[in-house]
Structure 1
Amino acid sequence: MEDDNYFEDEEFSPIKSILGLLTFSTILPIRVYTSIEYMTKLTWCWPFIHLFIGVIAAICGYACLNFLHLNSFFTAAIVYAFLMIITGYNHLDGVMDMADGVMVHGDPKRKIEVMKDFSVGAGGVATLFLVAILTIAGIYNILDYNFIFGIIICEMVAKTSLMTTALLSIPLTPGIGSYFIFETTPSKYLLSTFIVAIIAFLLGGTVGVCGVLGAMFSGVIIALIAQRNFGVANGDVLGMSNEVGRLMALLFMATALFFF
Structure 2
Amino acid sequence: MRAAALRGALGFLTRIPVGRSEAAWEAFSRAPWTFPVVGYLVGGLVALPLLLPAPAPTVALAFPLAVYAVTGITHLDGVADLGDAAVVHGEPERRREVLKDSALGVGGTVALVAVVLGLATAAFGLVEAATAAGAPGVRDRLGVAVGVVVAAEVGAKAATATLVCVGDAAHEGLGSALTEGATAGSALPVLALAAPAALLAWPRLLPGAAALLAALATAELLRRWARRRLGGVSGDALGATTELARVAALHAGVIAWTRF
TM-score range normalised by the length of the shorter chain: 0.7 to 0.9
* 1:46 Cα deviation after fit: 0.9
TM-score (structure 1 length as normaliser): 0.87
Does structure 1 residue 148 correspond to structure 2 residue 140?
no
Does structure 1 residue 50 correspond to structure 2 residue 48?
no
In 2, the alpha carbon distance for the partners of 1:199 and 1:158 equals: 11
- Identify the residue that residue 242 of structure 1 maps to in structure 2: 242
- Identify the residue that residue 28 of structure 2 maps to in structure 1: 39
Describe the SS at the equivalent of 2:9. helix
Gaps of 5+ in 1: 1-12
* 1:31 Cα deviation after fit: 4.9
* 1:125 Cα deviation after fit: 1.0
In 2, the alpha carbon distance for the partners of 1:239 and 1:173 equals: 16
How many residues align? The count is 243
* 1:195 Cα deviation after fit: 2.4
Contact 1:131 1:247 in 2 (8 A): yes
In 2, the alpha carbon distance for the partners of 1:14 and 1:195 equals: 14
Contact 1:25 1:90 in 2 (8 A): no
In 2, the alpha carbon distance for the partners of 1:184 and 1:245 equals: 21
Does structure 1 residue 167 correspond to structure 2 residue 165?
yes
CA deviation profile, 1:105-152 (whole Å, cap 9, x unmatched): 111111100111122211101111011102211122122222222121
| RMSD after superposition | 1.7
- Identify the residue that residue 48 of structure 2 maps to in structure 1: 59
Aligned pairs (5 A) from 1:43-192: 43-62=32-51, 64=52, 69-146=53-130, 147-192=145-190
Gaps of 5+ in 2: 131-144
Letter in structure 1 aligned against 2:246: R
Describe the SS at the equivalent of 2:90. coil
- Identify the residue that residue 208 of structure 2 maps to in structure 1: 208
CA deviation profile, 1:35-69 (whole Å, cap 9, x unmatched): 4432211222211112101111222331x2xxxx3
- Identify the residue that residue 257 of structure 2 maps to in structure 1: 257
In 1, the alpha carbon distance for the partners of 2:36 and 2:30 equals: 14
Do the aligned partners of residues 195 and 38 (structure 1) sit closer, same or farther apart at CA in structure 2, a change above 3 Å counting?
A: closer
Identity of aligned residues (%): 26
Letter in structure 2 aligned against 1:16: A
- Identify the residue that residue 4 of structure 1 maps to in structure 2: none
Describe the SS at the equivalent of 2:167. coil
Describe the SS at the equivalent of 2:72. coil
The range that moved more, 88-97 or 51-60, is 51-60
